Amino acid sequence: MKIIKLSAIDSTNRFLKQLAQETNPENYTIVVADRQTEGKGQRGASWVLESDKGLAFSCLYYPPKGVLADVFVLNCIAALSVVTALQTVSSIDFQIKWPNDILAEQKKIGGILIENSIKSSTDIQSIIGIGINVNQTQFDQLPQATSLALLGNSTFDKDVLLHKITTELKHNLEKLPQVGVDYFWERYHEKLFKRGIVSAFEDVQGNRFVGKIVSVTKEGKLQVTLDQEQQAFFDIKEIKMLY
């Protein structure tokens, strides 16, 4: 994998997207920054790194033609890759909170944002953006955030962590054509936060309700059992889960 290291950038996703438009980068090109000033998460949320303490990088991926019928599978594989890599440096049980927050002890330790450029039904370019709270200790106004340093009471080598995550990600993406989507889907659901547990949600109008998470569809929708066993399916922008 080719790795491009930057001291500071507005967004590694944005930088890599522009690079892909202007040149022809090789598959699995990585852009990593010590500081990211305009990083984005799901629903337009910001992801600003404390200088030199967090890990923010993006990976360029060209899916083989015909492999990805549903692009949300990439989110599934990316999340699993992060969790697997984190478990090699910590004994904490990491989980995936839909759509793709990475949790540790029910607090957010990382996030994933994937941007796809679909040129045709068989021609897709994906930018896989990953942010991990590594050595940060201050999370002002973010009570649900944590870091590896806080949980492990020690500092971690970001370069080692980058290598572990990117190696696992590349391995899983290359394995996809052989093992198929269902293999990763089953593993994703094993790590799905609060699956089968009654949880609180809020819709875009601010209405709150409870339901039990059943699964995530291959289109990325959350399947929830409501009152009287009614099944509902929600898109990423339609609801959020409350801790």
Parallel, antiparallel or unpaired: strands 46-47 and 54-61: unpaired
| pLDDT score recorded for residue 40 | 58
| pLDDT score recorded for residue 123 | 73
| pLDDT score recorded for residue 215 | 96
First to last CA, the chain: 37
Return averaged pLDDT per consecutive 10 residues of the chain, 243 residues in all: 91 93 93 80 53 90 76 92 96 93 95 84 84 90 88 93 98 93 94 96 95 94 93 93 83
Nearest CA to 229 out of 242, 214, 217, 218 is that of 214
| pLDDT score recorded for residue 66 | 67
Give the number of other Cβ atoms within 10 Å of residue 208's Cβ.
10
| pLDDT score recorded for residue 52 | 80
Using CA atoms, how far residue 44 sits from 38, 39, 47, 124, 236, in Å, is: 11, 9, 9, 22, 12
Q: Provide the CA 65 distance to its chain's centre, in angstroms.
A: 23
Instruction: Please tell me the distance from the alpha carbon of residue 187 to that of residue 202, in angstroms, as a whole number.
Output: 27
Give the number of other Cβ atoms within 10 Å of residue 61's Cβ.
22
| pLDDT score recorded for residue 141 | 76
For the entire predicted model, the pTM comes to: 0.91
The encoded tokens of residue 116 equal 């796809």
